[in-house]
Amino acid sequence: EAQVTQNPRYLITVTGKKLTVTCSQNMNHEYMSWYRQDPGLGLRQIYYSMNVEVTDKGDVPEGYKVSRKEKRNFPLILESPSPNQTSLYFCASTQGGVAGRNNSPLHFGNGTRLTVT
Amino acid sequence: KQEVTQIPAALSVPEGENLVLNCSFTDSAIYNLQWFRQDPGKGLTSLLLIQSSQREQTSGRLNASLDKSSGRSTLYIAASQPGDSATYLCAVAVPKAAGNKLTFGGGTRVLVKP
């Protein structure tokens, strides 16, 4: 089954304790992206990757890191989490990019709810 | 900067009524527009994608129109069912030169009453 898998689904941590949220897709998609969703602010892009070893900042990259060493994986790293990073996080992927040649839809994972105390 | 707005934020209709959901965007230089559905506790599911050169797309009971010049898209859901209750989001894709990203609206939360 074609899917985007995020882990964990729920995570509670304390300020300053490094954490990684994993994201994997099995559709051989070139483009992957991380979003956070907050009440009243909607979905905002954190980072995206056009392909292996190619990453770029989205609208709210501060406090986050990403890496794209393999095509299928795109982990989100919070080196020193803070309470303002408490949010619902989504990973997504598509073939060719959201404005790419294939105009293919974006596939989302089920989300990771992060709480930083 | 592209801004996407969805009004109303919430909508309640009786079963069987047609749903009309609105999406407006400020910059007409879009590559495509997508409509998504989000169920509580779940990720987003793509419903329809309209390329900038298209005027509409249809899938089953769903029909989405796009008017780039006026910066508007409308999602029509015919003969609504309780299972259509969800939050519906629209998103516009900007060209690669502008960052190759999607800008999302805030969503419309729909409740279809039996």
Task: Report pLDDT for B79.
Answer: 97
Structure tokens at B32: 């495509």
* pLDDT at position A20: 98
Q: At a CB cut-off of 8 Å and minimum separation 6, what does A1 contact?
A: none
| Average pLDDT of the segment spanning A16-37 | 95
A43/A38 Cα distance (integer angstroms): 7
Residue B30 confidence (pLDDT) above 80: yes
Residue A90 with chain B: CB contacts under 8 Å: 43-44
Q: Do A77 and A64 contact (CB within 8 A), yes or no?
A: yes
Strand A76-78 vs strand B56-59: parallel, antiparallel, or unpaired? unpaired
Burial of B22 (0-12, 13-18, 19+ CB in 10 A): middle
> Is A105 in Cβ contact with B104 (below 8 Å)?
no
- Among A33, A16, A9, which Cα is nearest to A113's? A9
**pLDDT in the model for residue B99:** 55
B107 at A interface, C-beta within 8 A: yes
Residue B56 has pLDDT above 80, yes or no: yes
Position with higher pLDDT, B81 vs A2: B81
pLDDT digits over A58-88, tens only? Answer: 889 999 999 999 999 999 999 999 999 999 9
How far out from the chain centre does Cα B59 lie?
13
Give percent of chain A above pLDDT 70: 94
pLDDT at A6 over 80: yes
Interatomic CA distance for residues B20 and B48, integer angstroms: 15
| pLDDT digit string, tens, across residues B67-103 | 999 999 999 999 999 999 999 999 998 765 555 678 8
Q: Do B94 and A92 touch (CB under 8 A)?
A: no
Q: How far apart are CA B68 and CA B65, in angstroms?
A: 10
Better-predicted residue by pLDDT, B41 or B105? B105
Q: Nearest CA of chain A to the CA of B42: how many Å?
A: 5
How far is A97 from A106, CA to CA, in rounded Å?
A: 9
CA-based nearest residue in chain B for residue A40? B106
| pLDDT number for residue B102 | 84
**B64 reaches A (C-beta below 8 A):** no
